[in-house]
Amino acid sequence: MTQANQVKDRTQTTNRSASPIAAVSGAYAAENSVESFRSDRRHVLDLDDFSPEEIEGVFQNADAMSEVLNRQIKKVPTLRGKTVITMFYEASTRTRVSFEQAGKILSADVINVSGGGTSTEKGESLYNTALTLQAMNADIIVIRHSHSGAPYFLARNLDACIINAGDGTHAHPTQGLLDLYTIRRNLGNIKGRKVVIVGDVLYSRVARSNLWGLTKMGANVVLCAPPTLLPLDFLDEQRRTKGHPFANVEIETNVERALEGADVVMPLRLQMERQKAGHLPTLREYSRMYGINAERLKLASPNVLVMHPGPMNEGVEIDPEVAHGSRSVIEEQVTNGVAIRMAILYGIATPVRERRYVGSRQ
């Protein structure tokens, strides 16, 4: 079965009566649409404040959005009249393009702003730039920023809904959700799956958001890295205290041991600066000790999923034959990213009252 057919097949087996798109098309009773978000949720800043039920609600709506993505005409009027502004103060391909595509498919007006060419170059503060954009009636602001906490600052000070598209080394919640969704679509369930995250955990916002999401959904998470690239609190036995959210997360510095029986392996991008900062002797040494290659992958489950948030350093944290091999779902992650971001925009932009009565296709 081709990937497109697999997606179609899975979509057909979902509960269509629970779909926001079904509500939009008027084909099903609107009151059956899924409450994808907590009724008081206005922002998506990280996954620490998501419940497993809320995450499952996002997945169900993403299933409906995937169905739209498989149509010949990829357009629904769900967010007509809403304005989404994306503010990217750091480089991005996947996140930025997928938010833009998601907004446009849902018929929102999407305006893209980047650090270069705006008044920030004249010294305007982030707050004043965001306030200016809000004054232009932005309903949702999607922000990527190199400073951890920047989206929280906007959420505290603006009326618009804020979505964190990656803040410093802190969080990347929509990446976490699309990774979880990709596991669910391919393996059926997340609970009990052994998920091995390999590499620069210390600086990775993707690893942090995935940790929240995976542990909430009941996965057995293994973090594998040289000790210099692990956060200190993971090396501290205090973490084992009862009630600590990551008490069951395993730490393994030997990649071969970590990979044994893995259902998912997720190497992280190794930033070149790590060597200069003294975290690693050389990138070649890192690749030799921790790089995911075909030989190492044989230690994992035969059905292992190879994932990568991108962008990849092929030949460093992952070999090209693994990145593009039969177990890789890296491109599917990108496709799922659009469906997940559509589900998030829908959930955030549509107040509970309207979510139930979305109206019929015009």
- Could you list the residues that contact ligand CP (CB under 6 A)? 92-96, 166, 172, 175, 309-311
Cβ pair 273, 232 in contact under 8 A:
no
Nearest to residue 307, comparing CAs of 280, 343, 337?
337
Cβ pair 306, 291 in contact under 8 A:
no
Q: How far is the CB of 34 from ligand CP (least distance, A)?
A: 26
Q: How far is the CB of 205 from ligand CP (least distance, A)?
A: 8
- H/E element, 195: strand 194-198
Cβ-based nearer residue to ligand CP, 96 or 355: 96
Cβ-based nearer residue to ligand CP, 96 or 145: 96
- Per-residue CA distances from 357 to 4, 22, 38, 42 (Å): 31, 11, 17, 19
Q: How far is the CB of 99 from ligand CP (least distance, A)?
A: 9
Q: How far is the CB of 265 from ligand CP (least distance, A)?
A: 17
> Within the chain, where are the H helices?
3-12, 20-25, 52-69, 94-105, 126-135, 150-157, 173-187, 205-216, 232-235, 255-259, 273-276, 283-290, 294-297, 320-323, 330-349, 352-356
Cβ pair 102, 75 in contact under 8 A:
no
Cβ-based nearer residue to ligand CP, 18 or 307: 307
Q: How far is the CB of 177 from ligand CP (least distance, A)?
A: 12
Q: How far is the CB of 5 from ligand CP (least distance, A)?
A: 26
Q: How far is the CB of 284 from ligand CP (least distance, A)?
A: 25
Cβ pair 50, 213 in contact under 8 A:
yes
Q: How far is the CB of 352 from ligand CP (least distance, A)?
A: 30
Cβ-based nearer residue to ligand CP, 18 or 62: 62
Cβ-based nearer residue to ligand CP, 166 or 226: 166
Cβ-based nearer residue to ligand CP, 26 or 311: 311
Cβ pair 209, 40 in contact under 8 A:
no
Cβ-based nearer residue to ligand CP, 67 or 100: 100
Contact partners, residue 162, CB within 8 Å, separation at least 6: 42, 43, 44, 45, 140, 141, 143, 151, 154, 155
Q: What is the rounded CA–CA span in Å between residue 197 and residue 56?
A: 22
Cα atoms found within 13 Å of the Cα of residue 114, Cβ hemisphere only: 8
Cβ-based nearer residue to ligand CP, 172 or 193: 172
The length of the chain in residues reads 362
